[in-house]
Amino acid sequence: MSIALTVIGDDLPATQWAWDDLLEERTNPPTVSQGWKLLGYDVADRSLLSGLSNCGYDGDEKPILTKTWPDKLNEVGLLRDLNDAMEFKDVTNRRVPEHAPFLVFGLYELS
């Protein structure tokens, strides 16, 4: 499967962005194509470490987060809704400050 990754928002300081060279290059196409299928949203740090699946949950966090978030995930384990992803980004920034700031990424299957 070929995928496209979009970054939603611009709240990461440019001096912390690991992909400075890529930000200067134009993408083709420059916007999401109508033919692409949205797989969902992930919340990840600047090295693409996922706050959904790669940042461990301790025994106290897991029961609290399990009550709030499982119905927000789709069949591939990504957040369905952009607003939920933005909210989870804030939760993850507080929960895993050593990897903050986190960003929201849209993942699309290319057609």
> Whose structure tokens read 């959904």?
52
Give 90's pLDDT tier (boundaries 50, 70, 90).
Answer: very high
Domain count, the chain: 1
* Boundaries of domain holding 87: 3-109
User: What's the pTM?
Assistant: 0.84
Q: pLDDT tens digits for 34-85?
A: 889 999 999 998 888 999 888 887 878 878 887 888 789 999 999 999 999 9
| CA distance readout (Å), 53 to 14, 27, 38, 43 | 25, 28, 19, 9
Given a contact cutoff of 8 angstroms between Cβ atoms, the answer to whether 43 and 102 are in contact is yes
Sheet hosting strand 103-109, strand order edge to edge: 3-8, 103-109, 37-44
Q: In this prediction, what percent of the chain has a pLDDT beyond 70?
A: 84
